[in-house]
Structure 1
């Protein structure tokens, strides 16, 4: 999973880039930064693999900010100014996207990023072994059998893994755990929920019932649920 931040002083640019990233399974959002000072603070407090960087910003310009970083993450420049492209590549950026750019061009930039699988796994607080997950929760690792998981809920910067008799809170993104679960056994029904298919009691309208829990079905995930009914 590639953890990224957006550094741009324009809100619409954040909306466009975040929307593109949400459509890709291997990108995990960390924070919106509207100037370089916010970005520096964010990098000091978070693990970040990728920066989407605008150049023309207040306080500190994009490349000036980049030159202050001793070990910068990978960088994709997003700007309306093509004349700085050469300088960008001299700073070892991944790609240089000229605004406005479309989704296809955006994907080409993302595909230039090579993050080794071993590196990605080591950044997770989740480890898969056989038919269990080891979840790091409150500085300890808890083993959870995959078949015991009823559903998983995203709550802020955490996910809550609900089993028959326990709830485990883990500081991770829901997208990080999704790719570790067996695809035939679990389904995402909402941006904040993943459910175990085998534990579904009933599906009614836009909700799923599992034991005493009611899980919503989001509009964009409705087609996934409908496939279960075929």
Structure 2
């Protein structure tokens, strides 16, 4: 778990950042500060990994306060003023977010700050899975998926159903996105609508694959390839 705090004099900024962070289950809020003095007290009391830091605050600016810290945690600046970006990077900040910033841009900053399992996004897919797991969004939450738990994936229009050993998750990601992400040595496309975990296959009979209590059809164009598994 990664601990974070928000240092900003605007309550709405706290709500936006906290709302984004709630979508990421590996982030945990440990406090909020509305000026540099509250921030100093918070950093003395809590173990903090990331600070979301505003610059334009009363009495002491964000950068003025940052310079007082001996061993600061990772800093992600959140500000409406782009002219201070160079100074920020000279202070070794992780990223510089200009308000208002989107969730994808926020997520990119988080990726820079901490080493986390890959989160699938529709506009960018990374073929490398960290620690054999990744996150997908379903039911307004991000679920961590361990590849060894996947039985098969079923296309469902613009969605996909990911069947795991103990549950099924409906995600907005298309099966083509998931196929690109998963290791081709361990996952097979057996139908235009089905992707299966090779090690989970119990039986291949006729035009069907059996995995636990599920029967998955084999598409005509995929049958010749599947037959090579039997040789």
2:77 match: 77
SS in 2 for 1:96: strand
* TM-score of the pair, normalised by structure 2: 0.50
Structure 2 match to 1:54: 54
CA distance, structure 2, for counterparts of residue 33 and residue 45 of structure 1? 12
Partner SS, residue 71 of structure 1: coil
How far apart in 1 are the matches of 2:18 and 2:116? 23
Task: Name the counterpart of 2:34.
Answer: 34
Q: 2:219: which partner in 1?
A: none
Pairwise CA distance, 1:113? 1.4
Q: Aligned pairs, how many?
A: 124
CA distance, structure 2, for counterparts of residue 34 and residue 65 of structure 1: 13
Tell me how far apart the structure 1 counterparts of residues 165 and 27 of structure 2 sit (CA, whole Å): 22
SS in 1 for 2:112: coil
CA 70–25 in structure 1, closer or farther in 2 if over 3 Å, else same: same
TM-score by length of 1: 0.50
Write out per-residue CA displacement over residues 48-84 of structure 1, whole angstroms, 9 at most, x where no aligned residue.
0000000000121000000000000000000000000
- Select the structure of larger CA radius of gyration: 2
- Provide structure 2 residue ranges, at least 5 long, that are not aligned to the other structure: 118-145, 150-163, 168-231
Deviations 1:151-210 (A, max 9, x none): xxxxxxxxxxxxxxxxxxxxxxxxxxxx9xx99679xxxxxxxxxxxxxxxxxxxxxxxx
Alignment of 1:109-188 (within 5 A): 109-115=109-115
- The secondary structure found in structure 2 opposite 1:112 is helix
Match of 1:67 in 2: 67
Secondary structure of the residue that 1:38 maps to in structure 2? Answer: helix
1:39 Cα deviation from its structure 2 partner = 0.6
Distance 1:33 1:185 in 2: 41
Give the distance between the partners of 2:97 and 2:112, measured in 1 at CA. 13
SS of the aligned residue for 2:51 comes to strand
Q: CA RMSD in A?
A: 2.3
What residue number does 2:87 align with? 87
Q: Displacement of 1:2 after TM fit? A: 1.1
Partner of 1:227: none
